[in-house]
Amino acid sequence: MDKWDIRFMQLTEDVASWSSCLRRKVGAVIVRDKRVMATGYNGAPAGIESCTERGGCLRESLGIESGTRQEMCYAAHAEQNTLIQAAKYGVKIDGGTLYCTHQPCAICAKLIINAGIKRVVYKEGYPDAFSMELFTEAGTAVEKFEL
């Protein structure tokens, strides 16, 4: 890892602190040519109350295990929100690097691959081995961040 990887991973931690999720705070940053193109954190879509506002986590109340049934959550994942932000504002991310506090799930992996992201750097693991298989098959470089 070089000094730029360190800087961008630090930024993912700052972005994660904006999350309204009660279970896990996740931040993501997409970079091209050492420039931040988009940021995102896990949280409810615009106009939808977050779990913080609701006073409890839907997944916890339903007993849903981490890494499963991602659709049963009010929040969109940080990676999804980062890709959506780039699309919404017409920012080119093809060929970029996605830095994330956590390993992307399989759903996010599919979106990342189709968006043309060529490299993913993450800090914390996530119980979804299938996402790593998808990245490998697609030829997307994935690196676990370690100092």
Is 124 in a helix, a strand, or coil?
strand
Q: Residue-wise over 83-118: b if at least 16 C-beta within 10 A, else e?
A: bebbeeeeeebeebbbbbbbbbbbbbbebbbebebb
Q: Where are the alpha helices (DSSP H) in 34-105?
A: 51-54, 58-62, 78-88
Rounded CA gap, 95 and 86, in Å?
13
Helix (H) or strand (E) holding 129: helix 129-138
Angle value at C-alpha 37, between 34 and 39, nearest 5 degrees: 115
Other Cβ atoms within 10 Å of 72 Cβ, number: 10
Residues annotated as catalytic are: 79
